[in-house]
Chains A and B, each alone.
Chain A
């Protein structure tokens, strides 16, 4: 996995100064309040991202804890103005999630994931949604990592291409290419599971 060190991405930072960068600087100088403010500001969005990618709450919490630990560790080396903290975090969370998805994929092949049993009325639709979400996570693990990374940031997190380019340390054109190829690859994988995922009417 590519490691995100302090602002090595040297992201082209556009727009206003990064408020999280200022908080991280305060944290690095021993400001306990900044630790709390950063945690409250960053954890919810990181947790949402991880849950979308992993379709698993417990694993998502593990990823967020690990990602934030990495942030605290690189805080003294953070160079404000080079990368946004949120962009850095999107990248680290995505990397950690893809690592887990790949490990999970090796442990349990795609068609070996058991469906949970639930006979409660109205549960069928929820089960189908959950199954589709898991299938998406599994498909992300099955395509090339950089494509998965780009698709996840573009289509699950809704980031713009420039921000994805900054997070992945590549050019905007490369982002477009990776995203397009990633989506085709995902569609091809999911098409094989069409019946299982209730897309028989497609």
Chain B
């Protein structure tokens, strides 16, 4: 029991008075009995459904949770580029392009020697006046 527990009744005129039944104790007994007899309305279907959903969500091992993601920022970029498979393919393509630029295979020499110009705008659109 808490040492700090005190009662308001004990703060009355004296200890002897505090030991006596406080005025209105009969009324309190009736009130307690009246409230104790109250069952209140039973829980509604929606409320029970909510409680059950809580229970199922908290049930150990049953809640489908997303698989833990790989740590680090790289995982986000990998997802953006189609997962690790897509990310790997992109890397291979980039490396291939780099190698072609550094040491072009003989079969491509004829193409790479020619300068190719590709117009990105329709011919009738001029950004700068002549």
- Is the CB of B119 closer than 8 A to any CB of chain A? no
Task: Determine whether B27 belongs to the interface, using a CB cutoff of 8 Å to chain A.
Answer: yes
Binding site of A, secondary structure by majority: helix, strand, loop or mixed? helix
Interfacial chain B residues near A68, Cβ < 8 Å: 51, 54-55
- Nearest CB of chain A from residue B39's CB, rounded to whole Å: 5
Tell me the A71-88 residues at the B interface (CB within 8 Å). 72-73, 75-76
| Complex Cα spacing A68 to B55, Å | 8
Q: Identify which of A30, A183, A187, A194 contacts B59 (C-beta below 8 A).
A: A30
Could you tell me the distance in whole angstroms from the C-beta of B43 to the nearest C-beta in chain A?
A: 5
Contact A143–B8 (Cβ < 8 Å): yes
CB distance from A135 to the nearest CB of B (A): 8
List residues of chain B with CB within 8 A of the CB of A190: 24, 27-28, 31
Provide the B1-38 mask, 1 if CB < 8 A to any CB of A, else 0. Answer: 11011111110100000100111111110011111101
Give chain B's interface residue range (CB within 8 Å of chain A).
35 or more
User: B61 near A: Cβ within 8 Å?
Assistant: yes
User: Do B51 and A133 touch across chains, with their CB atoms under 8 A apart?
Assistant: no
CA distance A51 to B55 in the complex (A): 22
**Residues on B with beta carbons closer than 8 Å to the beta carbon of A47:** 40, 42-43
**Contact of A202 (CB < 8 Å), options: B7, B9, B12, B23:** B23
Contact of B8 among A64, A73, A75, A189 (CB under 8 A): A189
* Contact across chains for B59 and A35 when beta carbons are under 8 A apart: yes
10 more contacts with CB within 8 A, not counting A43-B47, A184-B9, are: A30-B60, A39-B48, A72-B58, A133-B31, A181-B7, A182-B7, A184-B7, A186-B28, A187-B23, A188-B23
A-B contacts, 5 listed (Cβ < 8 Å): A39-B55, A133-B34, A184-B9, A187-B9, A187-B25
Q: Which 4 A-B pairs have the closest CB atoms?
A: A184-B9, A187-B22, A51-B40, A72-B58
